[in-house]
Amino acid sequence: MSQTTVVIEAKESPRTVRLHNGDTFTFTSNIATDLGNIPVIDAARIWSDHIDDRKAVAEEIRIASHEIGFFYLTNHGIDQKYADEAMQQAKRFFALPEQKKMEVFTGLVPNEYVGYHPMECYNRNGWKHQDLSEAFNWAYDALEDPLAEDKTQDSVSIWPSDLPGFRESLYAYHTKLLALSRRLTGIFALALHLPENFFDQYIRQPEAGMRILHYPEQKHSADDQNGIGAHTDVECFTVVTQDSAGGLEVLSKSGAWIKANPIPGSFVVNIADSFMRQTNDFFVSTIHRVINKSGKERYSAPFFFGFDRAKLLEPVPTCVSDENPMKYPVMTGGEYYKWRTNRQKQTNTRK
């Protein structure tokens, strides 16, 4: 969701990516390989009644979140039918005429990322051609949250008219992912060697946005175009549903692109910037992109989970010390979200 800027000194030279937070990374090659090691973690134990089981999986997540910031999650407990229906709704929406989709254009909602993001309206890395994808985003809605204590807050989402079942089907999946993400938040607390309920106060009314994306097959090379350019996510962590087309690529610490090939029935989970900030860089928010050279259209559905916008993104106590002071200014989740959202939307060519 975040914008990045890529400076290319020469065609054959490594490319330097500069993120909004000032960090820079370098591509050693623009061609992804299968040689990387993205951990596969069995999530069945997160539902165990035994704390030792939950702590064991938390240690696996701790290592993955610190070393690469990405992992696959299998046996997560969500019926595949919800993902299948969400993908069908994605195909249904993106097949609509452009004029119909623009009725819910994201530009109609200042300071929020909800609504329709048209095809080729962003160019995150400054390549020759615009990013070849389109998306529809929606936000947390307390009315759709079984655990919400306050049902009165209005949702910021906008929805297309005359599309029966669209909103209902997407929220059916959203609700399942919300429950999973709340459980994962407790596991992340254990992974940080904190009490399991440490973050409970942050997730009563969480930042829990979701999007569906459509990527046509790219005809241009990765040197000239991405499906979605290299970026990092904004919130605490992202749970990604991807179809069989592949195309998700992760930038390793060595500067090589690693393919995150689909594993049927799994999620890809990645750390996002808010969690990296709170953990003082112990958890890493890793650059990733999509290149769709599969020969077919690609669809995906990322779920972005973060903390209550009103809460301060304060440092996690196990990640700071006199010798390792906090590296980031403290702000609320809402302030950080607004800043990042507006930085990204300012690059939208469809004003």
CATH number at residue 244: 2.60.120.330
Please write the tens of the pLDDT for every residue from 249-307.
998 888 889 999 999 999 999 999 999 999 999 999 999 999 999 999 999 999 999 99
Is pLDDT at 335 greater than 80 in this prediction?
A: yes
Query: Is residue 12 in some structural domain?
Result: no
Please spell the DSSP secondary structure of 232-250, one letter per residue: --SSSEEEEEE-TT--EEE
Q: What is the mean pLDDT of residues 65-76?
A: 97
Query: Is residue 351 in some structural domain?
Result: no
Kindly indicate the confidence band of residue 2, based on its pLDDT and cuts at 50, 70 and 90: very low
> Residue 266: what are its φ and ψ, rounded to 5°?
-100, 165
Nearby residues of 23 by Cβ (< 8 Å), 6 or more positions away = none
Query: Is residue 193 in some structural domain?
Result: yes
pLDDT confidence of residue 351: 63
pLDDT confidence of residue 295: 93
Is pLDDT at 11 greater than 60 in this prediction?
A: no
CA dihedral 150, 155, 161, 167 (to 10 degrees): -60
State the amino acid at position 338 in one-letter form.
K
Query: Is residue 8 in some structural domain?
Result: no
Is pLDDT at 152 greater than 70 in this prediction?
A: yes
Please write the tens of the pLDDT for every residue from 91-101.
999 999 999 99
The encoded tokens of residue 80 equal 């595949």
Q: Which domain holds residue 319?
A: 32-345
Number of domains the chain contains: 1
Query: Is residue 4 in some structural domain?
Result: no
Kindly indicate the confidence band of residue 1, based on its pLDDT and cuts at 50, 70 and 90: very low
Question: Tokens 């609504």 sit at which residue?
Answer: 115
User: Taking the mean position of all CA atoms in its chain, how far away is CA 24?
Assistant: 20
Is pLDDT at 20 greater than 60 in this prediction?
A: no
Is pLDDT at 124 greater than 90 in this prediction?
A: no
Kindly indicate the confidence band of residue 28, based on its pLDDT and cuts at 50, 70 and 90: confident
Of 27-36, 106-115, 175-184, 222-231, the one with minimum mean pLDDT is 27-36
Is pLDDT at 129 greater than 90 in this prediction?
A: yes
Please spell the DSSP secondary structure of 121-140, one letter per residue: ---TT--SS----EEEEE--
Is the separation of the CB atoms in 68 and 124 below 8 Å? no
Is the separation of the CB atoms in 18 and 5 below 8 Å? yes
pLDDT confidence of residue 226: 92
Output 53 or 252, whichever has higher pLDDT: 53
Query: Is residue 6 in some structural domain?
Result: no
Query: Is residue 93 in some structural domain?
Result: yes
Please write the tens of the pLDDT for every residue from 184-242.
999 999 999 999 999 999 999 999 999 999 999 999 998 899 999 989 999 999 999 99
pLDDT confidence of residue 22: 57
C-beta atoms surrounding 226 within 10 Å: 30
Please write the tens of the pLDDT for every residue from 339-349.
888 887 777 78
Query: Is residue 106 in some structural domain?
Result: yes
